[in-house]
Amino acid sequence: MYIGVLLLKRGYMHKEKSHIAIRIADLMQGIHEFDFTCNASDFEGWQLHEAGFTRDITISVIVDKSEKELTVTIKTCTVADFACDICLAPIARTLSGSLKLHYLSGVPVEEAQDWDEEYRFLGNKDESIDLTGDVCETLLLSLPLKVACTDNADCKLFGRNEKNEGFHADEISSWQESLKQLKYKYR
């Protein structure tokens, strides 16, 4: 097992951004594992911090190299901080995501245009694979669409306390009644 290092390359000719790369020129055939730890601020331009990624991000990359193909599996894991969509209470959720990529080498350019988009192509002189964008996309795709707390007593809609369990129809506030009418309108 290899322990990878987060390569922070500050390009002066390009936009400044962090860089997660796997050097493939020296890899022997077989399975290789790389582990990275970084945080959202390492990925400039992706707005990961604004999306709730404020803690360490663990990235595991498994590269399976054969003669003509590389299969790269990316797994991400982190704890993201959100606010409940209903009561605005702070919530921390563990998020994980995975992505599998296939790279082919030695395929003529004319044939490469007929392939599916699932495959990416490596040139004969490529020494590394940049996974920065793929890692960021995996993180963003792991975000939940809705965030609601189910065990917070302050959350009036989903709270599990005695006050909400003994909830009577005459205690419905005006916004709850409007929400109920809106729900029936779109059914």
Residue, of 18 and 145, whose pLDDT is higher: 145
Is the pLDDT assigned to residue 116 strictly greater than 80?
A: no
Q: Band the pLDDT of 14: cuts 50, 70, 90.
A: very low
| Residue 125: partners with Cβ closer than 8 Å, 6 or more residues away | none
Q: Tell me how far apart the alpha carbons of residues 149 and 171 are, in angstroms, rounded to a whole number.
A: 22
pLDDT in the model for residue 48: 87
Q: Is the pLDDT of residue 4 over 90?
A: no
pLDDT at 96: 95
Higher pLDDT, 147 or 106: 147
CA distances from residue 13 to 6, 7, 9, 16, 87 in whole angstroms, order as listed: 20, 17, 11, 8, 46
Q: What angle do CA 54, 46, 36 make, to 5 degrees?
A: 60
In 3-state terms, what secondary structure has residue 76?
strand
* 181 or 53, which is more confident: 53
Residue extents of the structural domains in the chain: 21-149
Does the structure show a pLDDT above 50 at 18?
Answer: no
The mean pLDDT value for 137-148 works out to 90
- Which whole number is the average pLDDT over 105-130? 72
Q: Average pLDDT in the 101-126 region?
A: 72
Q: What is the mean pLDDT of residues 82-101?
A: 87
**Residue found under tokens 């663990």:** 58
Res 42: pLDDT: 83
Q: What is the pLDDT of residue 57?
A: 92
Determine the pLDDT at residue 154: 57
pLDDT band at 141 (very low <50, low <70, confident <90, very high): very high
